[in-house]
Amino acid sequence: MEEKIRQFLNSKFSDSIIREDNFRGEQSFYVKPESIFPICEALLENDDLDVKFLKDITAVDWYDHPLAENGRFEVIYNLYSFAHKYRFFLKVFLPEDNPNLTSLTGLWIGANWLEREVYDLFGVTFEGHPDLTKIITPDELEGHPLRKDFPLTYEKPRFSWNKDNPPEVIK
């Protein structure tokens, strides 16, 4: 199955694949950010591969880590082939300034909330998303809590109501 997906990706999207990785038996393909939508669309249309499930979308913040040279944010698409019972990952690296991707809501409606969550917690925006608003954190909270530079305990969270009069830093 791994070989089939590799062939499929190489035949159609050879320019978009940056590299491959296999860690602990899990296959991931690093692709260019702009090609994520066409790849998923082609995968969904291909009945032989039968990649019909989008299991998860999430992100990793590589702030202050050597890996951040590829781009600060790594967004992970977790795809599953039902017929082959096979899971693989598409990963993209996004820059620190204005991280942006194309929304997959046109392909899977279930991507709606998953993308909203990534937007809420990491600040990655999705173009073409019908309702890209906060989903989990309160409306007044500013910033994206799962970014590594978001303070954990030492500083009070900045809400819009205390913006003009910020709380002192507790150390």
Binding site for other proteins (CB under 8 A): 23-24, 26, 28, 52-56, 58-62, 65, 67, 76, 78, 82, 85, 87, 89, 108-114, 117, 121, 134-138, 145-146, 150, 152
CB of 104 vs other proteins, minimal distance in Å: 10
DSSP symbol at 49: T
Residue with smaller CB distance to other proteins, 12 or 108: 108
DSSP symbol at 98: S
Distance between alpha carbon 159 and the CA centroid of its chain, in Å? 26
CB of 20 vs other proteins, minimal distance in Å: 14
Q: Which helix (H) or strand (E) holds 38?
A: helix 36-45
Whether 55 contacts 80, CB under 8 Å: yes
CB of 111 vs other proteins, minimal distance in Å: 7
Residue with smaller CB distance to other proteins, 8 or 80: 80
Residue with smaller CB distance to other proteins, 15 or 19: 19
d(CA 98, CA 13): 25
Residue 34 phi/psi, 5-degree rounding, is: -75, -15
Residue with smaller CB distance to other proteins, 9 or 115: 115
CB of 66 vs other proteins, minimal distance in Å: 9
DSSP symbol at 151: -
Residue 7 phi/psi, 5-degree rounding, is: -60, -45
